[in-house]
Amino acid sequence: MQFLNLVGKRIIVRVDFNVPLDSNLNVTDDTRIKESIPTLKYLLNLDGVSLVLLSHLDRPLKKLLPDGTIDVNRFSLKNILPNLTDLLGCEVLFADDCIGEPAETLAKSLKPGQVLLLENTRFHKEEEKGDETFSKKLAGLGEAYINDAFGTAHRAHASTCIIANYFPKNLKAFGFLMKKELASAKRLLVNPDKPFTAIIGGAKVSDKILLLEKMIDSVDNMIIGGGMAYTFFKALGGQVGKSLVEEDRIENAGEILKKAKGKIKLLLPEDSIAANAFTNEAQTMNVDNMFIPDDMMGLDIGPKAIASFTETIASSRSILWNGPMGVFEMPNFSKGTFEIAKAVVAATERGAFSLIGGGDSAAAIHQMHFEDKVSFVSTGGGAMLELLEGKELPGVKSILEG
Ligand code: AMP
């Protein structure tokens, strides 16, 4: 971006304003809007530049009203305008559609320093299809294209990927957030400082299987926690009671254990906090993960697991954390996740590089207000996962290609 000649241009910026809203349609977490501000301010400081902002919000076409129409109120980007105006410190114009007459007229009449936000790109089915005609119409709204929407970079959608094909190499670039995300992932993918520890948790083995397989080739230590750990105990012949198990992944889990043997240190949680029901108020007990009673389910890692995980994290120089250690949304099962967050912060303070891979682990870090105490918190769960799995992201590729 800093190397392009953007002076005097009307610039399309694909941002990621896909933020959570409460029932009153107020933004409950503005991290993604905040993270777009450095790019937007940098561009607005260039002579004669005006901005046309594109984003999606949620999945409006998957959540239609009973009469089959889009819930415009709920999914309008108008809902985020007050936050954006505040954070940017200037007025932001709005167009009710991202293509068509009003958007074109408003975009073309922008004066230097003005910002126009267009309505949710996902109001059009062509967005997710990566439709060429739709992409071309979006591209026609500006003279250069900046992609700063890391959270959707793993999708080959019109506004995140195909649109870039309509701009030559010298008129398209990544924004600062995209650059930071890509650089952070690279620090773990290419010659990471050793020892390198991956902490992988969350509900399912199936969601993280590619990450587990990829990481086995580069980490020194792999910590596995959360619901997915019980599929591994099942593979070891353990009794896991009513804990979450993916029967069709037991074989995969066994293969991962076999592959890890003698190559890396793989740590499974020795014990769990098990409950007799999936509620915060359930009766709990500390159990050995090989012998969980039939009527109990593991919902958090136990004290022995916390101690051994913490010790390994403490000696790490590079850390990747993706996925919670338990059902941290329920306070009685959040201790494991929060203790691991503390261990990651402590290692970072001692000089380790720590990357929090978006999604629920990022939510836990935000909940603890630790975002400035780790090296980097990704804004994209799915996109970061795919990047770390070694995939090329379509939104990245289309900027790099001529
Ligand atoms: P993921 O999106 O795959 O990172 O999974 C996150 C979800 O996994 C969270 O909603 C957690 O509540 C859930 N989770 C973590 N540990 C467990 C567990 N032991 N049993 C059931 N669900 C879990």
Tens digits of residue pLDDT in 263-322: 999 999 999 999 999 999 999 999 999 999 999 999 999 999 999 999 999 999 999 999
State how far the alpha carbon of 37 is from the alpha carbons of 41, 84, 253, 261, 373, in Å: 6, 9, 42, 46, 21
Number of domains in the chain: 2
Report which of 121, 120, 178 is spatially closest to residue 149, judged by C-alpha positions.
178
Report which of 270, 377, 373, 268 is spatially closest to residue 322, judged by C-alpha positions.
377
CATH code of the domain in which 229 resides: 3.40.50.1260
CA distance 317 to 354: 8
pLDDT given at position 358: 72
Q: Which two tokens stand for residue 216?
A: 């086995």
> Does ligand 1 have an atom closer than 6 angstroms to the CB of 192?
no
**Residue 359 region by backbone torsions, left for phi larger than 0, else alpha for psi between -120 and 50, else beta:** left
Catalytic residue status for 204: yes
CA distance 201 to 327: 10
Q: How confident is the model at residue 58 (pLDDT cuts 50, 70, 90)?
A: very high
From the alpha carbon of 329, which atom of ligand 1 is closest?
12
In three-state secondary structure terms, 288 is strand
Residue from 209, 211, 360, 385 whose mutation best tests the ligand 1 pocket (most atoms within 8 A of CB) = 360
Catalytic residue from among 9, 10, 14, 32:
32
The CA 395 to ligand 1 mean position distance, Å, reads 28
The pLDDT tens digits of the residues spanning 336-378 come to 999 999 999 999 999 999 999 978 999 999 999 999 999 999 9
Domain boundary pick from 124, 155, 174: 174
pLDDT given at position 3: 76
Alpha carbon 365 to its chain centroid, in Å, reads 13
DSSP letter for each residue of 25-77: S-BS--HHHHHHHHHHHHHHTSTT-EEEEE---S-GGGS--TTSS--HHHH-G
CA distance 389 to 383: 10
pLDDT given at position 295: 97
Quick check: 192 and 218 in contact, CB under 8 A? yes
In a domain, residue 3? The reply is: no
pLDDT given at position 297: 98
> Does ligand 1 have an atom closer than 6 angstroms to the CB of 330?
no
In a domain, residue 268? The reply is: yes
In a domain, residue 4? The reply is: no
Angle (CA) 345 350 355, round 5°: 45
Are 187 and 170 within one domain? Answer: no
Residue from 199, 223, 244, 268 whose mutation best tests the ligand 1 pocket (most atoms within 8 A of CB) = 244
Are 208 and 109 within one domain? Answer: no
Are 226 and 373 within one domain? Answer: yes
Domain boundary pick from 174, 196, 227: 174
Are 77 and 107 within one domain? Answer: yes
Are 93 and 206 within one domain? Answer: no
The pLDDT tens digits of the residues spanning 152-174 come to 999 999 999 999 999 999 999 99
Is the pLDDT reported for residue 221 higher than 90? yes
Is the pLDDT reported for residue 150 higher than 90? yes
Is the pLDDT reported for residue 1 higher than 80? no
Quick check: 380 and 16 in contact, CB under 8 A? yes
Are 252 and 142 within one domain? Answer: no
The CA 202 to ligand 1 mean position distance, Å, reads 4
CA distance 250 to 252: 5
Catalytic residue status for 100: no
Are 193 and 165 within one domain? Answer: no
Are 210 and 309 within one domain? Answer: yes
> Does ligand 1 have an atom closer than 6 angstroms to the CB of 241?
no
Q: Which two tokens stand for residue 335?
A: 């201790």
In a domain, residue 255? The reply is: yes
Beta bridge partners of 14: 54, 147
> Does ligand 1 have an atom closer than 6 angstroms to the CB of 329?
yes
Amino acid code (one letter) for 219? V
In a domain, residue 55? The reply is: yes
> Does ligand 1 have an atom closer than 6 angstroms to the CB of 213?
no
> Does ligand 1 have an atom closer than 6 angstroms to the CB of 327?
yes
Helix axes 359-367, 381-388, angle to 10 degrees: 120
Domain boundary pick from 158, 174, 190: 174
In a domain, residue 400? The reply is: no
Provide the whole-model pTM.
0.92
Are 153 and 189 within one domain? Answer: no
Residue from 228, 327, 365, 367 whose mutation best tests the ligand 1 pocket (most atoms within 8 A of CB) = 327
Are 162 and 267 within one domain? Answer: no
pLDDT given at position 359: 81
The CA 304 to ligand 1 mean position distance, Å, reads 20
Catalytic residue status for 186: no
Q: End-to-end distance of the chain based on CA atoms, in angstroms?
A: 15
Written in H, E and C, the secondary structure of 69-118 is CCCHHHHCHHHHHHHHHHHHCCCCEEECCCCCHHHHHHHHCCCCCCEEEE
pLDDT given at position 73: 96
Residues spanned by the domain of 37: 10-174
Element (H, E) at 356: strand 353-356
Are 83 and 101 within one domain? Answer: yes
Are 165 and 203 within one domain? Answer: no
In a domain, residue 398? The reply is: no
In a domain, residue 399? The reply is: no
What does pLDDT average to over the chain? 96
Catalytic residue status for 140: no
Q: Which two tokens stand for residue 20?
A: 């959570």
Is the pLDDT reported for residue 401 higher than 90? no
DSSP state of 23: T
Catalytic residue from among 78, 179, 204, 373:
204
Q: Whose CA is nearest to atom 21 of ligand 1?
A: 227
CA distance 313 to 221: 9
Percentage of the chain lying above the pLDDT 70 cut: 100
> Does ligand 1 have an atom closer than 6 angstroms to the CB of 299?
yes
From the alpha carbon of 243, which atom of ligand 1 is closest?
20
